[in-house]
Amino acid sequence: MPRIDAFLKLGREQGSSDIHFAVGMPPLLRINGELIPIRFRDLENRELQGYVFEILTDTQKAAFRHGNDLDFSYMSPIAGRFRVNLYRKSTGVGAAFRHVPEHIPSLSELALPAVINALADHHQGLLLVTGSTGTGKSTTLAAILDHINRARALNIITLEDPIEFMFESRRAQVVQREVGTHVESFAAGLRAAMREDPDIIMVGELRDPDSLMMAMIAAETGHLVLGTLHTTSAVKTIDRIIDALPIEQRAQGKSFLAQNLRGVITQVLVKTADGRSRRAVTEILVMNHAIGKLLMSDKTHQIPSMLQTGREQGMQLLDQALLDCLNRKEIDPNDAYLYAQDKKQFQRFVTDASILPPVNLARGG
């Protein structure tokens, strides 16, 4: 058994989402968003590299020796499945292991808004799940795909780096392809997917203009494309897409979004009220004629007001969603304050005064 499995098993028993290994420190567990060290000695470079090399293939070892970072999946027989990033830093080797649950949670288990079910039922267009790293985008995307997999007889092709949740084909056929193993890149995988009779294409990350352009072509030609972006609001998502396009194609890009963007789900993970776990809280944009018109007239800065008044269509700003959860006593008020955009309206809920801005008691004169 690889020696690193013992640390992974301990991390899972403690309920951690991630296990970090770095030279000069003991292994660290991320539990409910906080990093906690394991009681173990500081890791040395040769020791940590030995741990990690036990789970690498010869091809992966060669790539890492040539200076490449590695992204791959690892199945531990005693700790489960992990998404791994292996890298080098100033003091030596480092690795981050993120646990991937065997069970794909449903949208209701994640307590996500019902409008996401409706967005998942579209037959064509672009649906995006966005947020910072570690906010549960992959889990939400997996729940959406599982909803479709159980409900509709379709051909679903996923492009992932690496493959995370493992799907069992149910009503749909789910074909999972890994970047670097089955396809050269997301853009190359999208080109290939277009020739594989897809109904739905899931792109793990729209990380460059090429993959973004291919996703837009696929969405415009009759497919439902699901993808993720590392953006922290609906407006920033739209701006990021437009800015990624060549200048001469931006007008066309705005027209595409106005006609083919189905929705943007932006999420954060907030501690629950009892402090024992975290849950996703979402900002949601549902494309409609009014938002499309703002987009086409370069008035994306007015979109937040549309989200605020679009509750009947399932839209909401992140602050609205945080306040709803606070009023239902579902999330920690201090954590909600830290994630809020307009923090003033959340100050009355805060129980830890140290996170509030200092009061200026100085007097003029």
pLDDT digits (tens, 9 = 90+) for 237-264: 999 999 999 999 999 999 999 999 999 9
Would you give the distance in Å from CA 87 to the centre of its chain?
Answer: 20
Query: Where does a domain end: 64, 99, 134?
Result: 99
Model confidence pLDDT, tens digit, residues 212-241: 999 999 999 999 999 999 999 999 999 999
Backbone angles phi, psi at 247, to 5 degrees: -55, -40
- Is 18 inside a domain boundary? yes
Q: What is the CATH number of the domain that holds 285?
A: 3.40.50.300
* Average pLDDT, integer, range 49-56: 97
CATH number, domain of 89, equals: 3.30.450.90
Estimate the share of the chain in helix, then strand, then coil, as percent rounded to the nearest 5: 40, 25, 35
Report the pLDDT value the prediction gives residue 362, as an integer from 0 to 100. Answer: 57
d(CA 292, CA 177): 33
If you average pLDDT over residues 298-309, what whole number do you get? 97
Per-residue pLDDT at 67: 82
Is residue 211 predicted with pLDDT exceeding 90? yes
Confidence of residue 365 (pLDDT cuts 50, 70, 90): very low
19 located within any domain: yes
Which residue range forms the structural domain that includes residue 53?
3-99
Q: Do 181 and 159 touch, CB atoms closer than 8 A?
A: no
Contact between 186 and 204 under an 8 Å Cβ cutoff? The reply is yes
CA atoms of 247 and 256, how far apart (whole Å): 15
- The answer to whether residues 120 and 240 belong to one domain is yes
In a domain, 104, yes or no: no
Res. 306: pLDDT tops 50: yes
> Could you give the percent of the chain with pLDDT greater than 70?
98
Select from 99, 131, 146 the last residue of a domain.
99
Same domain assignment for residues 166 and 290: yes
Task: Report pLDDT for 68.
Answer: 80
pTM over 0.75: yes
Do 58 and 142 have their domain in common? no
Residue 38 covered by a domain: yes
**How high is the mean pLDDT of the chain?**
95
On the 0-12 / 13-18 / 19+ scale of CB atoms within 10 A, 211 is buried
**Structural domain contains residue 354:** no
Residue 365 lies in a domain: no
Q: Is the pLDDT of residue 54 over 60?
A: yes
Tell me how far apart the alpha carbons of residues 209 and 155 are, in angstroms, rounded to a whole number. 26
317-324: long-range contacts, CB 8 A cutoff, minimum separation 24: 317/283, 317/341, 318/233, 318/266, 318/268, 318/281, 318/282, 318/283, 319/345, 319/346, 321/281, 321/282, 321/283, 321/284, 322/270, 322/281, 322/346
Each residue of 270-283: pLDDT tens digit? 999 999 999 999 99
Nearest CA-CA partner of 126 in 285, 302, 316: 285
Q: What's residue 360's pLDDT?
A: 63
Tell me whether residue 174 is in a domain: yes
Domain identity same for 85 and 118: no
Q: Cα dist. 29→38, 78, 289 in Å?
A: 7, 17, 46
What is the domain count for the chain?
Answer: 2
The answer to whether residues 98 and 113 touch, using CB atoms and an 8 Å cutoff, is: no
Mean pLDDT of 267-295: 97
Same domain for 135 and 158? yes
In this structure, are 274 and 306 located in the same domain?
yes
- Check whether residue 172 and residue 252 sit in a common domain: yes
Q: Please indicate, yes or no, whether residues 147 and 94 belong to a single structural domain of this protein.
A: no
Task: Please say whether the beta carbons of 303 and 235 come within 8 A.
Answer: yes
Instruction: Read off the tokens for 101.
Output: 């649950």
In tens, the pLDDT along 147-200 reads: 999 999 999 999 999 999 999 999 999 999 999 889 999 999 999 999 999 999
The answer to whether residue 192 sits within a structural domain is: yes
Q: What is the mean pLDDT of residues 2-23?
A: 97
